[in-house]
Amino acid sequence: MPDRSEVAYFGAGPAPLPTKVLVKGAEAFVNFQNTGLSLAEISHRSQTANQILADTKAALTTLLEIPESHDILFMHGGGSAEFSAVVLNMVAVWVEKRRREAEKDLGQDSAGIIERVRKELKDYLRLDYLVTGSWSLKASQEAANLLEPLGNGFVNVAVDSRKSPSGKFDNIPAEDTWTLTPPRTQGGKISAFIYYCDNETVDGVEFPDFPKCLDPDPSDEVPVVADMSSNFLSRRVDVSKHAVIFGGAQKNIGITDVTLVIVRKDVLATQPPPSFLHAVGVWSPPTILSWPVVAKNNSLYNTMPIFSIWIAGEVMRGLLETHQDRQLAGQEEVANAKAKQIYDALDRYPEVYQIVPDRSVRSRMNICFRVNGGDAGQEKAFLEGAEAQLLQGLKGHRSVGGIRISNYNAVDVDKVRRLTTYLEGFATKSKP
């Protein structure tokens, strides 16, 4: 039976955790701080649980330099649940803005306000999605499904990377080709938000930087929503440019069953009564997905997995301890260096390894490639050889196949070195 230190795990999620965190977690799972209770047993209403929430929020705030304008929520359901939460909460914000405008014009004419907002919904509501991979595609499809009772055409796919010559998610088109909903000041529709997935886990595509065309425009701001599930805490992020950032914990943050949502406080404060949403034909967010409800209850509306939140906090505090004042700038350097080492090894043998995404959008977290043009026998041999050397979790996503190396924060430099040695050895033996 191999020792943990002998296994190099590159799975896409759940992902590896720092061994130091796991050792402390094992102790906390049995007897947390000599209380005689497991962290899985304590009440989520207890002082201990509230302190864990506060400490984890504080660590995340420091790492990401989250401004006072934003709040941090802990939720259930992973990124997939937030596909729905984003639509339901942000459409509610859109409706409330229209309701307030109508109330200014129509006073207390309730029926008139409802009729006007209902018409504006049909005529003006749009949701902009940048579809650059499998997860943003799923998010856009969920949005269309949720809004189908209102009709069709509400979801504007401003980018679909599959429209490239390859027909695959292997690039991000130039910003000047994006068909975002024209702003209201230009006589366009009214977009409730612009949504993008910062790193596509399945396809190995990552935005190199925040898109310049999404920089906030004070005269006509459209809220920006980002799914950062698979590159969370791997580089610096300007939180102030986002209305919402969310991510499942099971990549770079912790273990499953915790979803982090960073949401601007004005979003939480701009919500109509559920009865008004229903009157204009829109579903109100289910209570468990309602960001205002979760925020009001300090993420404790229902029983949260305190152990999982504590694990996330330990990971964050470990990053702070490692990089100190440099915070995420230090982790970004490490992530970039590891990714470069892997890509350099692959690029040295183009006749054996074919990297899927365009060089300009190569993910630092999920490195996707084919072996000998996708030859099934060669890819099987590659995976079997890797397993024999305890290099695990390298099989590509079932929807696309191939090989995928997930280079998350807990994958240390020595394990990357072992992997690149294997890449070079396999390529040398497999050269045509």
Dihedral of alpha carbons 360, 361, 366, 371, sign: negative
- Kindly report the backbone phi and psi dihedral angles of residue 159, in degrees, each rounded to the nearest multiple of 5, phi listed first: -140, 135
3-state secondary structure 126-171: EEEEEECCHHHHHHHHHHHHHHHHHCCCCEEEEEEHHHCCCCCCCC
Give the long-range contacts of residues 97-106, CB within 8 A, separation 24 or more: 97/270, 99/272, 99/276
Q: Which residue has the tokens 């470990």?
A: 318
Q: Which helix (DSSP H) or strand (DSSP E) does residue 56 occupy?
A: helix 47-64
Task: Provide the pLDDT for residue 189.
Answer: 81
Task: Provide the pLDDT for residue 1.
Answer: 84
User: Could you tell me how far CA 140 lies from the centroid of its own chain?
Assistant: 14
Task: Provide the pLDDT for residue 187.
Answer: 67
Task: Provide the pLDDT for residue 302.
Answer: 93
Q: What is the mean pLDDT of each run of 10 residues along the chain (432 residues)?
A: 93 94 97 95 94 98 98 96 98 97 96 96 96 98 96 96 92 96 78 97 98 86 95 97 96 94 98 96 96 97 95 98 94 98 98 97 98 96 98 96 97 97 96 70
Q: In what order do the strands lie in the sheet with 259-264?
A: 70-75, 259-264, 244-248, 224-227, 190-197, 125-131, 155-160
What interhelical angle do 78-106 and 110-124 show, nearest 10? 130
- Dihedral angle of Cα 77, 83, 85, 91, to the nearest 10 degrees: 180
Provide the token pair at 336.
Answer: 């970039």
Amino acid at site 247: G
Provide the token pair at 27.
Answer: 């102790």
Reported as half-sphere exposure (CB side, CA atoms, 13 A), residue 353 has a value of 26
Task: Provide the pLDDT for residue 220.
Answer: 73
Reported pTM: 0.97
Nearest to 307 by CA among 47, 39, 54: 39
Neighbours of 220 (CB within 10 A): 14
Q: What contacts 209, CB < 8 A, 6 or more positions away?
A: none
User: Do 259 and 249 form a contact (C-beta atoms < 8 A)?
Assistant: yes
Task: Provide the pLDDT for residue 95.
Answer: 97
Q: What contacts 180, CB < 8 A, 6 or more positions away?
A: 128, 156, 158, 191, 194, 213
Counted residue by residue, the chain has a size of 432
Rg, Å, the chain Cα set: 23
d(Cα 42, Cα 50) in Å, to the nearest integer? 11
d(Cα 88, Cα 278) in Å, to the nearest integer? 12
